[in-house]
Amino acid sequence: MSFLAPAAFAFAAAIPVVVLFYLLKRKRVVKLVSSTLLWQKFLAETQASAPFQRLRHNWLLLLQILLLLLVVLALARPYFAGQTHSARLSVVILDASASMQATDVAPSRFVVARADALKLVDSLRDQDKMVVIQAAANAEVKQSEASDKSALRRALQACQPMDSPTRLTAALKMAESLTRDRAGAEIHLFSDGAVPELGDFENKNLPLVYHRVGVGDNNLGLTALDVRANPDDPRQRALFASVANFSTNDWQTEIELRFEDQLLETRPLDVPPTNTVPLVFIASQPRDGVFTVRLTAKDDLAADNQASIVSLLPKPVKVLLVTKGNRLLEKALRAAANVELAQADDLTDPAAGFDFVVLDNVVPTVWPAGNLLAIRVAPTNWFDGLAPVEAPVIVDWKSAHPLLRYAGFDNVQVVQGLVAKAPSWAVALVEAPQGALAVAGELGRQRILWIGFDVLDSNWPLRVSFPIFFANAVEWLNPAGTQSSQLMVQAGDAFRLALPAPVTEARVTFPDGSTRPLPLDTKAGEIVFGDTTKEGIYHLRAGTNETVFCVNLLDAAESNIKPRPELQLGKFAKVAATTVQRANLELWRALAALGLAVLLFEWWWYHKRTA
């Protein structure tokens, strides 16, 4: 048996005081009477109450001492925690992702999960140890291995929920390394289970205990947001949004569109159960700014009811085509929106003042420093080796890549081409059995798109995917388009800002209005800001320039707040949610109840004697 509050034994000093009350003589008033015949028995009793005489047997005294002992024991909070022969390690992983802010349990899932974790701290024996890890977009060790319960409680109280998705892999890998070869070690995960599959742990035999929190799925959330030029009117902007209903009830609400602080449109919205509704807004944009889409629904999760995106007005894209003559390629590039095309036979200036350069079967005198589209350019150091192939057969292409949006390579035949193995900085866009026919990636700060065959040596220009592909290429290679896509990050991901020139000071303003200076290396070529745990609009001032960027959740898996009854570890392994919580077996309630019973009995005994 151990005690949570051993200092309460100091109250046992009150026991001698109770005994002293029974030793002291009661004060009596002197009265004159005519005869003592009737007072003999009373006089005998008064002699026994003289101060500091031998204490007589008294049941009331014993009952009061017993009551006081029970009260002192109850205040000391005795408990049983079981007995083991060695210290036990517990690794607590507290899910602090956006879904844990759901209010289907009061006040929120995160607060309930943290309270359960604190109970686990109370159950530790003196030699037991615990590690506290907070898991959201990243894993953070809040308390290393320790047995000090006060430090562990402070670490758990310091954990706060974030607006980011759940990424448990890093936290579980850390916990697995801590519990490996530790007898009796356990990993306690406090979460609602809104996590992707954890296939990396299928064969790890994790000692994982899953404590599930949450009961409902009442949520409506924004899962996608994008802005582009209106195809029908380039002077306007088209915003594309997706709203998902993850509950089993029909949702009827409103959705608002704002530009900066101006309300542009309010639209009624009806989303059927477990369905997603796509939305398109058309709006005029007088200047560069931020569009915000907001749901007015009062659901259980507020973090996914609003999303913002920076919209930059389109500017002409200056493209240099270095070619010996290719009318089909020239027409495809000119057909793209806002393209100003210039042609040349060679490139002699690495920074020629163009947004990107297209090399059509030409090796330039000087390689461009900016973004580049290279078509059948062989002498490069991008690949370990290039191999010519006659009539390569296209067997696969990355349809999910932005360059191949709505542009497939079915029925495209190539007479002759070069194949290569995709380097580490790029992905293979189009593949033949012998290797990649097209790759795309980012080398340093330069975006590169390489096509290994001459478009004139194929029937590709006769396919509808030909102009679509080069329209996508113009958008992907345009530095302004790259900047616009980088101005929206998912909560928890780092925001990166390239610096054209070194700066000496930088400051960021958070969505709540608070500001923070950023430490800078005067020789750094970019700023990396990682404190993006809350959704909203951020302002980063570097030197005299100010950059606005947006942080959003936009994660369907996180918006689906239905608590999972089990965690899937790969295809075959899984961990069911536990219904048992380990805690100390405290005895103070039983002792307090027993003390109350003794008090009632003492009251009854006293009145029985005096009746």
Instruction: Please enumerate in sequence order all residues whose Cβ is within 8 A of that of 407, keeping only pairs 6 or more positions apart, or say none.
Output: 465, 468, 469, 472
Residue 50 confidence (pLDDT) above 60 = no
Q: Does 285 fall in a domain?
A: no
pLDDT score, position 388: 92
Q: What is the mean pLDDT of residues 240-262?
A: 94
H/E/C letters for each residue in 326-377?
CHHHHHHHHCCCCEEEEEECCCCCCCCCCCEEEEECCCCCCCCCCEEEEECC
* CA 306/CA 150 separation, integer angstroms: 38
276 CB neighbour count, 10 Å cutoff: 15
Confidence bin at 48 (pLDDT 50/70/90):
very low
pLDDT score, position 41: 59
Which 3 state secondary structure label does DSSP give 28? coil
Query: Which two tokens mark 496?
Result: 């990166």
Confidence bin at 497 (pLDDT 50/70/90):
confident
Residue 492 confidence (pLDDT) above 80 = yes
Q: What is the mean pLDDT of residues 121-125?
A: 87
Q: What is the mean pLDDT of residues 536-545?
A: 92
Q: Quick one: 359 and 506 in the same domain?
A: no
Which 3 state secondary structure label does DSSP give 115? helix
Looking at every residue in the chain, the average pLDDT score rounds to 86
431 close to 404: Cβ distance less than 8 angstroms: no
**Phi/psi at 484 (nearest 5 deg)?**
-65, -40
**Reported pTM:** 0.71
Residue 385 confidence (pLDDT) above 90 = no
Instruction: Please enumerate in sequence order all residues whose Cβ is within 8 A of that of 108, keeping only pairs 6 or more positions apart, or say none.
Output: 100, 101, 102, 161
Q: Quick one: 377 and 329 in the same domain?
A: yes
Confidence bin at 36 (pLDDT 50/70/90):
low
Q: Quick one: 99 and 183 in the same domain?
A: yes
* CA 375/CA 455 separation, integer angstroms: 8
Residue 374 confidence (pLDDT) above 90 = yes
Q: Does 252 fall in a domain?
A: no
pLDDT score, position 38: 57
CA dihedral 392, 398, 401, 402 (to 10 degrees): 50
Q: Does 406 fall in a domain?
A: yes
Q: What is the mean pLDDT of residues 218-237?
A: 87
Q: Does 309 fall in a domain?
A: no
* CA 569/CA 199 separation, integer angstroms: 5
Q: Can you give the CATH number for the domain in which 147 is found?
A: 3.40.50.410
Residue 43 confidence (pLDDT) above 60 = no
Q: How many domains are contained in the chain?
A: 4
More confident residue, 287 or 45: 287
Q: Are strands 426-432 and 416-420 parallel, antiparallel or unpaired?
A: unpaired
245 close to 270: Cβ distance less than 8 angstroms: no
Q: Does 579 fall in a domain?
A: yes
Burial of 27: CB neighbours in 10 Å, binned 0-12, 13-18, 19+: exposed
End position of a domain, from candidates 433, 458, 483: 483
Q: Does 449 fall in a domain?
A: yes
Q: What is the mean pLDDT of residues 603-609?
A: 73
Which 3 state secondary structure label does DSSP give 187? strand
Give residue-wise pLDDT tens across range 417-433.
999 999 999 999 999 99
Which of 158, 172, 194 lies closest to 303 in space, CA to CA?
A: 194
Instruction: Please enumerate in sequence order all residues whose Cβ is within 8 A of that of 107, keeping only pairs 6 or more positions apart, or say none.
Output: none
More confident residue, 317 or 579: 317
Q: What is the mean pLDDT of residues 341-348?
A: 90
Residue 25 confidence (pLDDT) above 60 = no
* CA 507/CA 496 separation, integer angstroms: 14
pLDDT score, position 81: 57
Confidence bin at 340 (pLDDT 50/70/90):
very high
Instruction: Please enumerate in sequence order all residues whose Cβ is within 8 A of that of 158, keeping only pairs 6 or more positions apart, or say none.
Output: 142
Domain with 160, as residue range(s), is: 89-216+561-583
Which 3 state secondary structure label does DSSP give 172? helix
* CA 213/CA 138 separation, integer angstroms: 20
Residue 315 confidence (pLDDT) above 90 = no
Q: Can you give the CATH number for the domain in which 511 is found?
A: 2.60.40
* CA 102/CA 216 separation, integer angstroms: 9
pLDDT score, position 82: 53
Peptide bond before residue 314 is cis, with ω within 30 degrees of 0: no
Chain centroid to CA 290 = 24
Q: What are the beta bridge partners of residue 436? A: 420, 431
Query: Which two tokens mark 248?
Result: 């089993």
* CA 320/CA 348 separation, integer angstroms: 12
Q: Quick one: 7 and 119 in the same domain?
A: no
In percent, the amount of the chain with pLDDT more than 90 equals 54
Q: How far apart are the first and last CA of the chain?
A: 43
Q: Can you give the CATH number for the domain in which 367 is found?
A: 3.40.50.880
The alpha carbons of the chain give a radius of gyration, in whole angstroms, of 38
* CA 404/CA 439 separation, integer angstroms: 12
pLDDT score, position 481: 75
Residue 582 confidence (pLDDT) above 60 = no
* CA 137/CA 139 separation, integer angstroms: 7
DSSP tag of 232:
S
Q: Quick one: 182 and 131 in the same domain?
A: yes
More confident residue, 81 or 495: 495
Query: Which two tokens mark 161?
Result: 């929920």
Directed axis angle between helix 479-486 and helix 465-477, to 10°? 70
Q: Does 464 fall in a domain?
A: yes
Q: Quick one: 397 and 326 in the same domain?
A: yes
Give residue-wise pLDDT tens across range 72-110.
877 877 766 555 456 789 999 999 999 999 999 999 999
Confidence bin at 33 (pLDDT 50/70/90):
low
Q: CA-CA distances (angstroms) from residue 362 to 203, 358, 460, 469?
A: 52, 9, 20, 21
Query: Which two tokens mark 6?
Result: 């051993």
Q: Does 511 fall in a domain?
A: yes
Give residue-wise pLDDT tens across range 448-471.
999 999 999 999 999 999 999 999
Q: Quick one: 567 and 463 in the same domain?
A: no
Q: Quick one: 372 and 397 in the same domain?
A: yes
Q: What is the mean pLDDT of residues 142-167?
A: 94
Q: Quick one: 503 and 454 in the same domain?
A: no
pLDDT score, position 107: 94
Q: Quick one: 360 and 459 in the same domain?
A: yes
Q: Quick one: 25 and 44 in the same domain?
A: yes
pLDDT score, position 29: 63
Q: Quick one: 517 and 434 in the same domain?
A: no
